[in-house]
Structure 1
Amino acid sequence: MGTTVYFVRHAEPNYNNHDDASRELSRRGLQDAQKLVNFFSNIIIDNFYSSPYKRAIDTIQPLAQARQKKIALVDNFCERKIDDVWIEDFESFSERQWADFSYKLENGESLAQVQKRNIEALEHLLGQNKQTILIASHGTALSTIVNYYQPSFGYENFQEIKSIFPWIVKIKFDGLTNLSITSYTEIGVPL
């Protein structure tokens, strides 16, 4: 029996809060977090994991509470660190990172670094779990995971999912081997 992993990119955040770790959900984000309870109503989830960032935790909190489950925080599932300061031209920066996975700002991370720590964390969990797990994540972090298993997933695909909150990706594994990836553009609508 393999492992099914549901990645849930956080719901819509409050972009007025520029602190990555404490950025909360917007009003719409809070409403969409509640919708996950219905989306997963017929799916058994054995364990819940999350990035330590508030918006990720808050996205799956209603579902975890409905299941009376605790959320284990995994630091390596946090979002990519861009720099110590807020950058205004995110588009150019993002495009350059996708063109060169080793590109980063002075105090930030490259996509290669983000991908490496996310895959290491995922493979660690796959070694512990043989059931269905849910991981709350972030757009760039999750995109690098999908890219790892589907190298054709690139900047254009990232642009397509950039405004999807929450974005759900279901990946089936046999051990560490990826068997299939299903992506949902909206809650319950396959991509």
Structure 2
Amino acid sequence: MTTIYFVRHAQPDFTVHDDATRPLSNQGKEDCQKLIAFFHQIPIDLMFSSPFKRAYDTIWPLAQSRNTIITTIDDLRERKVSDTWLTDFPTFAYRQWQDFSFKLEHGESLAEVQSRSIRVMSTLLTDYSEKTLLIGTHGTALSTIINYYDQKFGFAEFNAIKAMMPWIVKMSFDGNHCVNIESFTLNRNQAFTTYAIFD
């Protein structure tokens, strides 16, 4: 069995519009420290991340606590919306989930994001079979991965998790076949609890 923990980044500083360099907010920096406690008794063999700052910085304290190297993979980056800041994101997100091929000029469709993400998954599952991996990731990119393995995950589920930061998703694989998906989110007591992706 191969286990992959995806960690969607903690709360970012939305005043920074550059997607690649957007940092964590002060709250985000506090919340990512809680990952150390969550993973305290969970062995992790390797850690990977999107190259985007908010994803990398979210898992950095955990990696530092274990003296573990984080390997960045460019194809784990978040979906590119366009070359300009989008003000009406909910409408755009809805259109993309209704049509996986829909994209703005100079942007990416969900189909394109899913394709590159699953290529990475296939490589990791082949190269690190029977290992436990952790991946620093993003809301949309992670959602397309979940959708690939379980197509019940759609816009409603994506919309439900949009404010969950950080958000942990655990996937278990038998070879390349995903046999189980679990997720965890911070509750009001600032501790991670199980969150049901599907009703």
Question: What band does the TM-score fall into relative to the shorter chain?
Answer: over 0.9
* Code of the aligned partner of 1:107: H
Structure 2: runs of 5 or more not aligned: none
Instruction: Give the TM-score taking structure 2 as reference length.
Output: 0.94
The Cα shift of 1:102 comes to 0.3
1:124 equivalent in structure 2: 123
Aligned equivalents of 1:36, 1:185: Cα separation in 2: 11
Partner of residue 189, structure 1 = 193
- 1:167 equivalent in structure 2: 167
CA deviation string 1:39-62 (max 9, x = no partner): 000000000000000000000000
Which amino acid is 2:168 matched to?
A: I
- Is residue 133 from structure 1 mapped to residue 137 from structure 2 by the alignment? no
Contact residue 23 and residue 55 of structure 1 kept, 8 A: yes
Spell out, residue by residue over 1:26-78, the C-alpha distance to the aligned partner (whole angstroms, 9 max, x if none): 00100011110000000000000000000000000000011110000010110
1:73 is aligned to 2:72? yes
SS at match of 1:183: strand
Mapping for residues 1-191 of structure 1, pairs under 5 Å: 2-129=1-128, 130-186=130-186, 188-191=192-195
User: Match of 1:170, SS?
Assistant: strand
Figure out how many residues of one structure are paired with residues of the other and give that number: 190
SS at match of 2:181: strand
TM-score by length of 1: 0.98
Percent identity (aligned): 53
Asked whether the 8 Å contact 1:161–1:185 carries over to 2, the reply is: no
Deviation at 1:184, TM superposition (A): 1.3
SS in 2 for 1:45: coil
| Helix, strand or coil at the partner of 1:7 | strand
1:188 Cα deviation (Å)?
2.2
